[in-house]
Amino acid sequence: MLDTAFLMLCLVVLSALAFDYINGFHDTANAIATCVSTRALSVKAAIVMAAGLNFAGAMVSTKVATTIGKGIVDANHVTQMVVLAGIMGAIIWDLITWYYGMPSSSSHAIIGGLIGAVIAHDGASVLHWGGLQKIVLSLVLSPVVGTIIGFIFMVILLWCFKNSAPRGLNNGFRKLQILSAAVMAFSHGTADAQKSMGVITMALVSYGALPSFDVPTWVKIACAVAMGLGTDGGGWRIIKTVGKDFVKLQPVHGFCVETASAGVILGASSIGMPVSTTHVITSAILGVGLSKRLTAVNWNVAGRILVAWVLTIPASAIVGGMAYLVMSPFLGN
């Protein structure tokens, strides 16, 4: 006889890994857009490098996974259907924004999807508002910090090399940018793969396969592999928006963007704060652009990015809630 609960668990795990795969090609641009746009690396070489380092970064920590898995709602109010619907909300929103080349946040999407599914299942009262405040605060503050650090770092670099010839300066930083892009890809793995780790572990606790929230090794490896494979699938649509249309970048600018972003993301991941790599690197690009002049920023593109940012949590929450309402009559609550 088919164990329906086990079947649901399998669907959740496969969906979470699919989300990680989509996250990989959706957010590939976060790590490599600037080094591709400045021609420090070819698209193929940049994607291969990012895939490997995304895998490595995903294996080093589970603090963000714990925040996602325990900070949104108590495990007693989480069912396999809730988790599955939340993941579907995130996947659908990620695919929509990828299709239109918009660098929206997969972190926001998975959080929004889970919120919508939980509300559809048990109402808003069961949400951990304290945990959500911490999560949302980190997601709101990280772009501000990214903009400020990107701006300050760029000003310092320009002052330090003010007497250097632009051509020689950019040739030197083109090589350094490969290193900074590698660190950015690693930091992306430490932050984004952990969202799926948290979701899968949440589902395992709900099923009864785990006595408490503790990410198993096989979950770490599976999520890391899925993200690495997804990254290898590419993401040229978003690379073009972030790396070319938003602000025109030279290698010195790309090095500054990637270094500043990686610092913010690694710092946040070390304390379990689930920041959005998309938001951080895009805001760092904004900070670098502002250090040049206001007109260096394509404000039309900036406006489209901002709209995607603002819409992501409510939109993915609505889709997650609708997914729960549509699927629960067939698959159970």
Give the Cα separation of 8 and 92 in Å (integer): 19
Report how far apart, in Å, the C-alpha atoms of 146 and of each of 59, 85, 110, 230, 258 are: 24, 32, 22, 25, 10
Helices within 271-298 (DSSP H only): 277-292
| pLDDT tens series, the chain, 333 aa | 457 788 888 988 999 899 888 877 776 666 677 777 777 777 778 778 877 887 888 787 677 767 776 677 776 677 888 889 999 999 998 888 877 777 677 778 888 998 999 999 988 888 878 777 877 787 778 888 888 999 999 999 888 887 777 777 777 888 888 888 888 888 878 777 777 888 888 888 888 888 888 888 898 889 888 887 877 766 555 555 555 555 667 788 888 888 888 888 888 878 777 777 777 888 888 888 888 777 777 777 777 777 877 888 899 999 999 999 998 887 777
Q: Which of 65, 17, 84, 333 is nearest to 201 (CA)?
A: 65
247 SS3 class: strand
Domain extent, residue 153, equals 4-331
Closest CA to 216 of 18, 8, 69, 57: 69
- Helices in the chain by DSSP H: which ranges? 4-26, 28-37, 43-58, 63-71, 80-99, 106-122, 129-160, 166-207, 217-232, 236-240, 251-270, 277-292, 299-331
Could you tell me which residues are beta bridge partners of residue 233? none
| pLDDT score at 1 | 44
pLDDT of residue 245: 57
Structure tokens, 171: 């040739």
How many independent structural domains does the chain possess? 1
| Residues paired with residue 127 on neighbouring β-strands, in sequence order | 73
Strand partners, 297: 247
Cβ atoms 23, 230 nearer than 8 A: yes
Close Cβ partners of 288 (under 8 Å, ≥ 6 residues apart): 150, 151, 154, 247, 249, 253, 256, 257
In the block, which residue shows the tokens 């593109």?
Answer: 301
CA dihedral 295, 300, 305, 307 (to 10 degrees): 130
Closest Cα partner for 38 from 276, 266, 288? 288
Here the tokens at position 245 are 């249309």
